[in-house]
Amino acid sequence: SDLQKQEERGELLQPLIFVLLVLCSVVLYFKVSLMDPGFVMPEEEEGEGEGQGVVAIPQIPGDVKLRRCGYCLVKQPMRAKHCQLCQHCVRRYDHHCPWLENCVGERNHPLFIVYLSVQLLVLLWGGHIAWSGLYFEQSWEWLQHNIFLLMSFFLIFIFTIVVLLLLVSQLYLISCNTTTWEFMSHHRISYLRHSELENPFDQGIILNLWRFFC
């Protein structure tokens, strides 16, 4: 049959890989959106010293102490922030993603980067498929027959730019060992505002990436 001939020629391998990538993207989306991003629980306060964060980062002045959250009343670890949408404090809070309806924090941040990478690959491949199906002709009839492909390519192009910019900005912040929240609100965060260094958590690109992903 034609299907067997296509399989023998290896023509079914690329569509199969593309479908698997799409499924992987969907699984990663639900995994990142449903998992605990690193919520700070009240029972975790026992055993946490007042100067735990100061000991780990000696460049931060000693008068910067862990404070109690005014919303959920838990003692916030260093780099944690309360998310009013999730109603929890999140460890190493990066941002609240409206597309995921979940925070990106200490536990799901690496998986979020993997999800963005897979999503970008799917979008680039989908854009290539949409573009390869277009045969340009200057006629109204051609436009009517190809309007769906044109709209698909335009939407894929927009989403590709958004995902690419987000991924590049995330990788840059990770390489500096800072978060989106710390980058945007540096002047309002006490342990950064009172620090002698602009970024006391930066330990070099290689070590920053290693500690984040490994």
Catalytic positions, written as ranges: 97
CB 108 within 8 A of CB 37: yes
Taking each helix axis from N to C terminus, what angle separates 109-132 and 140-175, rounded to the nearest 10 degrees?
160
Helix (H) or strand (E) holding 88: strand 88-90
Q: Which of 84, 85, 81, 101 is nearest to 93 (CA)?
A: 81
CA 17, CA 34: separation in Å to the nearest integer?
26
Measured distance CA(95)–CA(27) in Å, rounded: 21
Alpha-carbon distance of 187 to 169, in angstroms, equals 20
